[in-house]
Structure 1
Amino acid sequence: MKKTLLLLISIGGMLSVFAQDATQLIKRPSLSINFFLKDFATPELISSSSITTVFENKQWTKMKDMAPGLNVQYFQGLTDHLDFMAGLGGSFLKYPFLYKSGVQTPVQDKFLLEADANVNLKLLTDKYFMVPYLSAGIGASMYAGTYFGAYIPVGTGLQFNLGEGNFINLQYSYHLGVSDLTNYNFQYSLGFASPIAPGKKEVKLAPTPPPPVKETPKDTDGDGIPDDKDQCPNVPGVAKYNGCPVPDTDGDGINDENDKCPTVPGLAKYNGCPVPDTDGDGINDEEDKCPTVAGVARYQGCPVPDTDGDGINDEEDKCPNVFGVKENFGCPVIKEEVIVKVNTIAKNIFFSTGSAQLIANSYKPLGEMVKILQDDPNLKLDVEGYTDNVGSEAVNQALSEKRAYAVMQYFISKGINADRLHAAGYGSSKPIADNKTAKGRAMNRRVELKLRYY
């Protein structure tokens, strides 16, 4: 590693021919857009064996197994050798929580948001083409909008200066978790940065123009009318208008003598009049695909379509392919008896204690729900899982999610398209009864089924 670092510094010295102005060694405020890869597996292997073993056995995680993401970084020079660097990045992944957190790894990719602030120690100044640096800072993360953590990013990088303050940034960082909900990981990133503040520019004075040559032409505009009789001596005209051009009142390039609409700008093909608008919708007939029916510009002069013919145009209709009513935003109204039946079904869905395993008594009511969805293929269903407040919030949240997904998976197994289904868990956050009593807790341990068309 030491030999490699010395080699990089030597190459940077040899490439100093790409140096910038020595007066601008402190980096200007700059923004960088970066692509990065996250690696959780390699740090875990190193912690369970050693970095030597990982290298010898070629166990370093392949790029295809890492989680990609994007981030934005802000740079501000502090001194010639110190830069402030702040970043905000995001990626979708299955976050491998530490065992001690009590949170299981999710079954689906969810959004990870990370923000950090760092100080970069540059081994060379920005006058060199290639600048190696070391970095350290603090950071915070939010996963799935629920799990918050903190970490310490440390690492190294190479900055390749392209001139005018632009540079390519190649960076490796190690995120050391400092909270139970943060796991250790490597992050490799590549980005392009450009200044957002202007540099100092040399002011160049324009040469003094030569003095104008004074002339006294007898007919300046050459229209055959002497200047002393020409009311427009600098513009060729006709004697009829005392040396001025034939007027063009509306400024459409067609003089009033040839303009049938002299006070309204128009086109020569319409003898100086505007392109007609037969249907009066503000879109002229040349651009109007429905010239005799009033419409709107985004449909090229035609009316907004109404695909299902329910009198509600597609832009306001949340069910544009199903006949509905205005009171339900263009969707059909779900019958009250169907809602009552669905609520009864939901109250008869049961699981094994502390798990997401459906018990046999649940299959009959679930089958009735499948038939409702099969009878109306336009219906959609939200499956919501809830728990009481016994146990930790993290465990309850995970259990409510698993139960909701278990019900959704049952419907999928019976042929219901997954696009019509949505499952979510809310843990103990929305009780409908008092958690201080056994009856109240039993009511709070529930699954709710909610039909909708949009």
Structure 2
Amino acid sequence: MKRTILSLLALCLLGQTFAQSTSLKRLPSVGFGFFLKDFVTPQSIGATSLNKTWKDKTYAKQSDLLPGASVSYFQGITSHLDFMGQLGGTFAKYSYKNKVTSTKEGFLTDLDAHLNLKLFTDKALINPYLTAGIGGSMYNLNYLMAYAPVGGGIQINVGKGSFLYLQTTYRYHVGGAAAENLNYSIGYASPIVEPKKPKAIATPPPPPVVEKDTDGDGIVDSKDKCPRVAGIAKYDGCPVPDTDKDGINDENDKCPTVAGLAKYNGCPVPDTDGDGINDEEDKCPTVMGLARYMGCPIPDTDGDGVNDEEDKCPTVPGVKSNAGCPEIQTKINELAKSIYFGLGSVIISAKSTKPLDEVAAIMKKYPATKLSIEGHTDNVGSAVINKKLSQKRADAIKTYFFKKGIAVTRLDAIGYGSEKPVADNKTEAGRSKNRRVELKATYQ
């Protein structure tokens, strides 16, 4: 049965040998170790069973273990399979198989060869493995005995190909008087040769890569943000930008975000006075004005401080309080006091000619002036008759001015009768004041 197990294990190891790559084989290494040899536990198992040995605690105690030393040699076969040769020695009273046990302590020498099947490659920090092989023992240089070690262990990578190993093997009797035993060992191994460096194969350098420059601006396409438009390195191969699209690039454009003209360095036509009319169209570029006056302020033709749009007499200096016209109402009011009619008559008194002529002269001097002629009476007599009388008197004066060359369109006549008294009609003095003609100048 034991030989069957050994044969199966050997076949597995051989199969693994042919299956593995040799790219990570262990370098030839030498190791030194210590071991404890146990004859007691295998004898108890052989006499009874593993279960009974464990249950009855008939396995070896610390005092039953025999210390020894060993030297080992390791050689990689594949990246997962190593050859291991080991020579060990210890002092013992050897219990021969099927022979009388030695009563004297002698020197026991073991020499065996193993195949170690590793779970990982030697790059792993911790690498479990199975081991199996064949070996021989010699006791006191008298007896040669054969055995087959089977077991397992752990390798611990400590760098540069060196490693620690912990190993337990069961040494099965194969021939002679060899006694079965357990071997518990610990050791350290290190390579004895330097790893071969792969020969460098001289290869011709690859041909230089000529990068494409589609737009021919000297900047290759891989670094050109505008590979189809010639540009400059400063802008990663793109042309100088024209942010406002006015045809003047940003480097020459003093107003790069506002469309403008080349004559103004890329800025719009200026508006110096800020009136919304650019200087090229503004006839008064330094003074705020209006578009209807081509950028100039509203004119003041007569220079009286009242602009022409508000000046009813734009060509004649006047005063602001009189809409830009001269203050002539006071003069006209004085002249109107000298206009007389006969009692109950619509004929203008001769002494009224001079003041009326002066009013006509004023009207000619200020052609924008219009005149309202108002007739008034006292309350003596019929109100209807008084109103008709006042209207006829106003019409008489209107006719007089018309004959003096004043356009009828500038004249307006109206009779109020006694409707608008300015004094008390109860007295003669009051009634005298109410019988009057008023001239009111207005301006177009």
Query: Normalised by the size of structure 1, how large is the TM-score?
Result: 0.38
The structure whose Rg is larger is 2
